[in-house]
Structure 1
Amino acid sequence: LTRAMIAAVERQAPPKRGLVRPKLRYAHQGGINPPRIIIHGNALDRVPASYQRYLEGYFRKAFELVGTPLAIEFRTGRNPYAKKKR
């Protein structure tokens, strides 16, 4: 799944929103029925719905999932420096 996600990002990178471009790090399977793909990375809350549909279509075509509902979930890691005082 990670290789397919990297190929999709190389073909069409996620659009920049503000100063930050979302970084998609890796993907893995999160469920079977319906198939769920979980994508980890940074700034994933800034991925627009149109790019989510692009990824869904890319995964459908790459894994021949015609007619099967596909759920894509984005997870962002926590910032270890968020609560650190200066």
Structure 2
Amino acid sequence: MILSLLHTSPAHIPVFDALREAGHPELALRHVVREDLLVRAGQAGPDSVADDVRALLVAAVRDGADAVLCTCSSIGAVA
């Protein structure tokens, strides 16, 4: 299984890698980091990044992800 993770900070990568190793080492993770989404959402609200988030989710599935998890609570509502 491939899980794609959408992050707004690279700081989350080692956290999720460690969680995977501890509980599901067979799970393949794909990390997508888009710090600009958090900046824009902070300035103009989450709806301002909705189209970009949607495009990233669609691309992740198109590229083989079985599931996608948005790890940022600031943009999670539009994911």
- TM-score of the superposition, structure 2-length normalised? 0.34
More strand by share: 1
Instruction: Select the structure with the greater relative contact order (CA < 8 A; seq sep ≥ 6).
Output: 2
- TM-score of the superposition, structure 1-length normalised? 0.33
Larger radius of gyration: 1
